[in-house]
Amino acid sequence: MQQMHTKRRNRWLEEYIGRTFAVICGWLIVLITVTMIIFLAVKGIQSFTDSGLSLSDMLLSAQWDPNGTPPKYGALIFIVGSMLVSLGALLISAPIALALAIFMNFIAPKWFVSLLKPVLELLVGIPSVVYGWLGVTILVPLMREWFGGSGFSLLAGIIVLSMMILPTITSIAADALANVPMAYMEASYGLGSTRWQAISRVIVPAAKAGIATGVVFGLARAFGEALAVQMVIGNTIKLPSGLDSPTATLTSVLTMDMANTINGTPWNNALWTLALILLLISFFFIAVIRLVGPRKEG
Amino acid sequence: MWSKRVKLGLAALLMTGVLAGCGQTENNNAGGNEETPKKEETYSGTIALAGSTALQPLAEEAANAFMEKYPDVSITVQGGGSGTGVNQVAAGAVQIGNSDVPAAEKLDDKSKASELVDHKVAGIAFAIVVNDDVNVDNLTTKQIQDIFNGKIKNWKEVGGPDEAIHVINRPASSGTRAAFEKTIMKDVKINDSIGTVQDSNGAVEQAISSTPGAVSYVAMSYLIGEKKNLKTVKIDGAEPTVENIRTEKYPFWSYEYMITKGEAKEEVRAFIDFVKSEEFAPTVKKMGYIPMTELE
């Protein structure tokens, strides 16, 4: 009787300790995230409160000349650059990813899927500097041959990025497709549809929400990617005049200048504001994921 | 059960390793002390440096030499850029901030700048470099200004091949670019909407050697040893030698600074003096920098 009692007490203790630990960890994550957001917000608005820059100048002006007299901090070039490069990457990789996901789920033989999955996982794990390096050594010279100029270009950035986000979108889309009940497929076969009709008119529409989540995830990843893009896009401070023209992104100007400016200077504050803009845009993407994501299951 | 035992074993092994390691360092230190009793003064403590990537290789070399001489001193050197150097030393996080420019030029807040002391520790020469296919071996300051301003767009305008010029800049915050603007461009503005920007000496090197018609500027310390594959161009007929810098024939160079906050501790001062010393000068020269002994 006594023994049973201690046993029960031990179990209760273990449960209790485990639960406390889990709760603390949960709160810690929340706390860290919230403090980071607050820190970034405080730093980011210093441009307007301390350095006297105006919001509209910052967002709508393409004049970025922090060394000039007077210095100018218009971020339009970088915002446009980031958008073009990530939307461009999405345009290339989303259709391919969807095709790959369909192929993996409904067409490819099992042994091939078991080869494809680890390959995709591997692609996610390759560090971005490697993508950048491959871009610089292979893609940039190719671009130079095809389009002239230096080869450092918006298109090079788009291609490198689309390689990087392809596996992300593919795996999320593949999961979404796999979650569609087999009965849907069987029912449409029963109605006399071909495989193509079943996939394009039944399965894909049913998995629409999941696929959209994958696409937004890919977009968010593309937007935040810094190193690989910076290595191939040229970082020229001007709006791109075409796909073969170099430009700069929010992340590339941040990584290039952050280490060389001093805390508290208007220049440094302006960079923090760029970081805040990046954060707000990822908030926007997360909101979109929330909206399209969990609405329905199967 | 088995895995638990293995883990325990591993932990035990690690612990012994760590303990043994500790013991060893202590022994080494003791040994070092005995070997250098002839030195009148000896220093101890830790010194942390951070900042300029242009100065970093030299600072690392100096740290190793200094620690060999005074085994009780432990020095760590980090990069991060000149801005990081000034930030960290102003915040008291490191004892020495490495910078390509004097602290006052970076800091807006002059009250903060007055606390910081700049020490010139070496000179560094920069060179205009071009891709192999550009057969131009001399440019005048005016021509360089026009190239980076965007007025001259083809190499044939400066006596080279009929080939488009591809300008490669450093980001606006770079110390190398600051030196370039100060000594070569002067009042002429760099046109940032032409060409491309690469954010390190290494990336510039890669871009120059692979892009036909490319021109940029890099620190000489990146052009010594195995890195001679880049083609340098004379400026107004002068090569980037110490002699030409001293006689003011070659304009494109600047000082490198180690910045301390307030009154530096004696080991910090000793280290900075060591970097500037006659004794360390040959190494400074070998690494592509200009020793202070030759500049003053």
Which chain A residue is nearest to residue B189, measuring alpha carbons?
A68
CATH architecture observed for domain B45-123+255-294: 3-Layer(aba) Sandwich (3.40)
| CATH number for the domain formed by residue range(s) B125-247 | 3.40.190.10
Measured distance CA(A232)–CA(A139) in Å, rounded: 8
Q: Do A262 and B83 touch (CB under 8 A)?
A: yes
A234 DSSP 8-state letter: B
Residues B110 and B282: beta-carbon distance below 8 Å: no
Positions in chain B whose pLDDT score sits under 70? 1-40, 107-112, 226-229, 296
Q: Which residues of B touch A66 (CB under 8 A)?
A: 172-173
Report yes or no: A241 at the B interface, CB cutoff 8 Å.
no
Q: Does residue A259 sit in helix, strand or coil?
A: helix
Q: Which residues of A touch B174 (CB under 8 A)?
A: 260
Among the listed residues A198, A168, A15, the one whose alpha carbon sits nearest the alpha carbon of residue A106: A198
Q: Which of A67, A136, A238 sits opposite B193 (nearest CB)?
A: A238
Report yes or no: A136 at the B interface, CB cutoff 8 Å.
yes
Measured distance CA(B15)–CA(B19) in Å, rounded: 6
Which chain A residue is nearest to residue B84, measuring alpha carbons?
A259
Which chain B residue is nearest to residue A257, measuring alpha carbons?
B173
Q: Which of B87, B189, B194 sits opposite A263 (nearest CB)?
A: B87
Q: Which residues of A touch B173 (CB under 8 A)?
A: 66, 256-257, 259-261, 267
Q: Which residues of A touch B197 (CB under 8 A)?
A: 234-237, 248, 256
Distances, alpha carbon B280 to alpha carbons A142, B29, B37, in Å:
47, 23, 21
Report yes or no: A69 at the B interface, CB cutoff 8 Å.
no
Measured distance CA(B186)–CA(A111) in Å, rounded: 66
β-sheet bridge partners, residue A65:
A72
> What pLDDT, on the 0 to 100 scale, is given for residue B234?
94
> What pLDDT, on the 0 to 100 scale, is given for residue A71?
87
Q: Where are the alpha helices (DSSP H) in A103-153?
A: 110-125, 128-134, 140-147
> What pLDDT, on the 0 to 100 scale, is given for residue A57?
84
A234–chain B nearest CA distance, Å: 5
- For chain B, the straight-line distance linking the first and the last C-alpha, in angstroms and rounded, comes to 71
The whole-model pTM stands at 0.81
Q: Do A260 and B174 touch (CB under 8 A)?
A: yes
Tell me the per-residue pLDDT of A207-249, one tens digit each, with 9 for 90 and over: 998 999 999 989 999 998 888 999 999 999 999 998 999 999 9
Average pLDDT over residues A89-100: 95
Q: Which of B106, B108, B197 sits opposite A235 (nearest CB)?
A: B197
A293 DSSP 8-state letter: S
Among the listed residues B116, B75, B77, B87, the one whose alpha carbon sits nearest the alpha carbon of residue B268: B75
Which chain A residue is nearest to residue B52, measuring alpha carbons?
A260
Average pLDDT over residues A18-35: 94
Geometric angle at alpha carbon A191, from A188 and A197, rounded to 5°: 50
Which chain A residue is nearest to residue B80, measuring alpha carbons?
A259
Report yes or no: A43 at the B interface, CB cutoff 8 Å.
no
Among the listed residues B214, B216, B197, B169, the one whose alpha carbon sits nearest the alpha carbon of residue A141: B214
> What pLDDT, on the 0 to 100 scale, is given for residue B36?
45
Both tokens assigned to A55: 């919001």
Q: Which of B171, B181, B192 sits opposite A256 (nearest CB)?
A: B171
Average pLDDT over residues A274-286: 91
Interhelix angle for A140-147 vs A154-178, to 10°?
120
Average pLDDT over residues A279-298: 76
Among the listed residues A51, A53, A264, the one whose alpha carbon sits nearest the alpha carbon of residue B110: A264
A124–chain B nearest CA distance, Å: 25
Q: Do B172 and A144 touch (CB under 8 A)?
A: no
> What pLDDT, on the 0 to 100 scale, is given for residue B9?
52
Q: Do A261 and B83 touch (CB under 8 A)?
A: yes
Mean pLDDT for chain A overall: 89
Q: Do A257 and B173 touch (CB under 8 A)?
A: yes
H-run or E-run covering B47: strand B45-51
> What pLDDT, on the 0 to 100 scale, is given for residue A164?
93
| Cα B164 to the center of its chain, rounded Å | 31
Which chain A residue is nearest to residue B82, measuring alpha carbons?
A260
Distances, alpha carbon B284 to alpha carbons B65, B97, B225, B246, in Å:
12, 19, 14, 16
ipTM: 0.78
Tell me the per-residue pLDDT of A137-148, one tens digit each, with 9 for 90 and over: 999 999 999 987
Q: What percent of chain A has pLDDT over 90?
A: 57
> What pLDDT, on the 0 to 100 scale, is given for residue A50?
84
With cut-offs at 50, 70 and 90, classify the pLDDT of residue A83: very high
Measured distance CA(B259)–CA(B262) in Å, rounded: 10
Mean pLDDT for chain B overall: 83
| Cα B222 to the center of its chain, rounded Å | 9
> What pLDDT, on the 0 to 100 scale, is given for residue B38?
46
> What pLDDT, on the 0 to 100 scale, is given for residue B222?
81
Give every CB contact of residue B176 below 8 A, 6+ residues apart in sequence.
B54, B100, B126, B170, B201, B217, B218, B219
> What pLDDT, on the 0 to 100 scale, is given for residue A295?
57
Same fold flag, B45-123+255-294 and B125-247: yes
β-sheet bridge partners, residue A187:
none
Geometric angle at alpha carbon A195, from A189 and A198, rounded to 5°: 65
Domain boundaries, chain B: 45-123+255-294, 125-247
Measured distance CA(A259)–CA(B48) in Å, rounded: 17
